[in-house]
Structure 1
Amino acid sequence: MAEEENMRRHLVLVKPFSLEDEKYSEHTASNVIRKILSLIKTVRPGSDLTNFQLPPQLNLPRSQLQSYGEMVYSFRGKDLLGECSRRDLPIERFKSVVTWNISTLRPVVVGMSPYNPVLGETHHVSNGHINVLTEQVVHHPPVSALHATHEKEKIDVTWCQYFTPKFRGTYVDVEVKGKRVMKLLNRKETYHMDQPRLVMRFLPAPGAHWAGKVKIKCPETDLEAELHLISDSFIERFRGNNNRSIKGKIFQSSSRDQLYDIFGHWDR
């Protein structure tokens, strides 16, 4: 019994998705994009794709719930979540929260999608001091809920979100509805976070990227951040470039005094 319990505790069904995973590269996506284009020939621009089903051969070998869990705990051995509470100064904690939020943005490959979870499906994973539980709580629309804790640093994270994809002719515009809340219980601080949009382009070259504005706010420290994820231009996509850039600022909410600039790329 003890040996069986130990095996269950260390069981890994599918390894976390890697940014350098060549199996699901943009090259792979270009090979399956023809299948997607054939599937959407009958879809009109502006149509809601919430119930649009991909064939099984275009699914990643993981559930959407597992993908959500990986966003919280999988950081190449770094405990970015714990860093949010370990810093002594409020501004340093806020910078760590912004860093963690950006790190949850993972590349999405056009034409490869996780399996849709069924109502009541759950996924649980523990990694170090981090415990993550995800559950599919609504079927129509497909709403997923997440609760994560960091036992050592007393951090509590809750999400509740769902996607509303719409077909725009040459791309799909996916709005992510819902909220993310992080609580640093030892610091008595709460951080509210918005979520960006996801744009999946088919022409002139297949690709997917996060876009739009993200706000992060902590009422207790009077600190706020605005992040802008830059959408690639038509010319850049035609050239095959994907810069995945991000820019923004950290400022005081009450005075609007800017404290830091944010710039770079969200995937590196």
Structure 2
Amino acid sequence: MVICGQVTGSRYETKVVLTRPLSVDGDSDIDYRAPNLSQRITSLFKSVLPGSDLTRLKLPPLFNYPKSHLQCYGETVYCIGSDMLSRCNQADNSIERFTSVVAWSISTLRPALFGCAPYNPILGETHHVSRATLNVLLEQISHHPPVSALHATDEKQNIELIWCQHCVPNFHGAWVETEVQGKRQLKLLCRGETYEMNSPNLLIRLLPMPAVFWTGNVRIRCPENGLEAELRYGPKSSFLGLRGSHRSVKGKICETSTRKTLFELNGHWDRTVTMKHNDSGKQTVIYNAEEVLSGLKAPIVNDPQGVQSTESAAVWRELSMAIMSQDWEKAKQAKNAVEEKQRELLRERESKGATWVPQHFSVSYSKDGGWDCSPTQQWVPPAPIVVPLS
């Protein structure tokens, strides 16, 4: 489904293009992919040397699908079939809250398509969407290197999310592994608990058989309740995932102080994940992808006047429409127009000796700690774009 909202005013009219998230199987209700993508992407990387900076690799629109990375990050939080985030705050038992956080963390993993990538967000690009009482705001706080910040709050549930993500793709000849650096925080404010976690990496296998999947280790810890989880995504021992399930997840929940394992986790993030109590042997399903990732709906424009010019769905509207109609020449022109505008703004800042400052986040960087960000406002306001609940 494509939603084209109108931002109207006395002097301008802007189309906003929003599309439904990919299904758990990577399907879409729009066929926007160019033919022979596997051959095209393999051919593209033949001219790239191992160790090259892929963040500066300019992908033709043939390799894009119609949304920005900011939108994809936001969708992992606000596009969800059941409200797993609210459940994290509901249990009075600290262990139940922790397992709910683990299940919610698994729910943020979404499918990726081989040969198709979202747009690289421009500097200062934003994405602002609400789902019920959860308000989500993202901003691209750096372009080179690409760093995205997310702030989400739910005043009713007393929940806050703060993410700062820096993607570092590494080309190894037969595959590309994108390391997702940065810290993710989930704060249960009324409980006084902060859960810190990282993200798995995205692996794109070019040879011998093209594929793309999530891989690596994720650690979730909460200093206030003394619990932590260790999760591993993808096959543990196989050459580039040639054996085993690409979508498997295994792990454990243990006490931080004693390292005693309380629960063992096993399953697949696109199906179900079970938790086994180490003492009793009892097993329960803590995550069901069919309930969480089925029937996801596209956001809609609820307040046209409130949509900012920096909104992802507005910045890339012409390119998205051209890709969905498979007008590749128009798509090329639209993408070049956005990029040239950014080059003009950069030249203007350099001529004035000006430094770009994020609108919604304070940003810091250190070689040891990497990128970090803190929101400039306590609560994210309701957004002009909303996710339908029914």
TM-score w.r.t. length of structure 1: 0.89
Q: AA paired with 1:253?
A: T
Q: CA deviation at 1:230?
A: 2.4
Aligned to 1:87: 91
Q: Cα 1:62–1:191, aligned 2, differ >3 Å: closer, same or farther? A: same
Mapped to 2, the partners of 1:224 and 1:40 lie a distance apart of: 39
| Partners of 2:167 and 2:179 within 8 A in 1 | yes
Partner of 1:192: 196
Question: Which of 177, 196, 212 is the equivalent residue of 2:181?
Answer: 177
Q: After TM superposition, give the deviation of residue 15 of structure 1 in Å.
A: 1.9
Alpha-carbon distance in structure 2 between the residues aligned to 1:190 and 1:29: 44
**Alignment deviations for residues 154-197 of structure 1 (CA, whole Å, 9 cap, x no partner):** 10000001111111111101111110001000101000101211
Q: 1:58, CA displacement in angstroms? A: 1.5
- The residue that corresponds to 1:205 in the other structure is 209
Output the amino acid matched with 2:123: L
Match of 2:219 among 196, 215, 233: 215
* 1:72 and 2:77 correspond: yes
Which residue identity is paired with 1:37? T
| 1:24 to 1:175, Cα distance in 2 relative to 1, 3 A | farther
Q: Which has the higher contact order (CA 8 A, sep 6+)?
A: 2
Residues 195-204 or 241-250, more deviating: 241-250
Q: Quick one: structure 1 residues 265 and 30, their matched pair in 2 at CA, closer, same or farther if it must change by over 3 Å?
A: farther
Which residue is 2:146 aligned to? 142
Q: In structure 1, what is the Cα distance between the partners aligned to 2:58 and 2:91?
A: 45
DSSP-derived class of the 1:86 partner: coil
> Residue 105 and residue 231 in structure 1: after superposition, are their counterparts in 2 closer, same or farther (change >3 A)?
same
Distance 1:60 1:235, change over 3 A: closer
Equivalent-residue separation in structure 2 for 1:235 and 1:176 (angstroms): 18
Q: Which residue does the alignment assign to 1:22? A: 27
Secondary structure of the equivalent of 1:92?
A: helix
Please state whether the residue corresponding to 1:13 is helix, strand or coil: strand
Q: Matches of 2:181 and 2:156 in 1, distance apart?
A: 30
The CA RMSD over aligned residues, in Å, is: 2.3
What amino acid sits opposite 1:67 in the alignment?
C
Q: Equivalent of 2:46, from 27, 41, 48?
A: 41
Cα 1:254–1:204, aligned 2, differ >3 Å: closer, same or farther?
same
- Give the match for residue 308 of structure 2: none
Query: Secondary structure at the residue paired with 1:105?
Result: coil
**Alpha carbons of structure 1 residues 51 and 235: separation in structure 2 relative to 1, 3 Å:** closer
Equivalent residues of 2:21, 2:28 under 8 A apart:
no
Q: Kindly name which structure, 1 or 2, has the bigger radius of gyration based on alpha carbons.
A: 2
Instruction: Return the alpha-carbon distance in structure 2 between the equivalents of residues 144 and 178 of structure 1.
Output: 10
Q: Distance in 1 between matches of 2:36 and 2:162?
A: 37
When residues 21 and 201 of structure 1 are mapped into structure 2, their CA distance, relative to the original with a 3 A threshold, is closer
Q: What whole-Å deviation, never above 9, does each CA across 1:4-48 have from its counterpart, x for those lacking one? A: 99xxxxx872222222453499xx699301111111112112222
1:12 to 1:42, Cα distance in 2 relative to 1, 3 A: closer
Matched with 1:227 is 231
Contact 1:179 1:193 in 2 (8 A): yes
1:160-175 aligned at under 5 Å gives the runs 160-175=164-179
Instruction: Give the CA deviation at 1:54.
Output: 1.3
Indicate the percent of aligned positions where both proteins have the same amino acid.
53
- Decide which moves more: 42-51 or 172-181: 42-51
Cα deviation for residue 150 of structure 1 reads 2.1
- Structure 2 distance, partners of 1:23, 1:153, is 32
Give the secondary-structure state (helix, strand or coil) at the position aligned to 2:54: coil
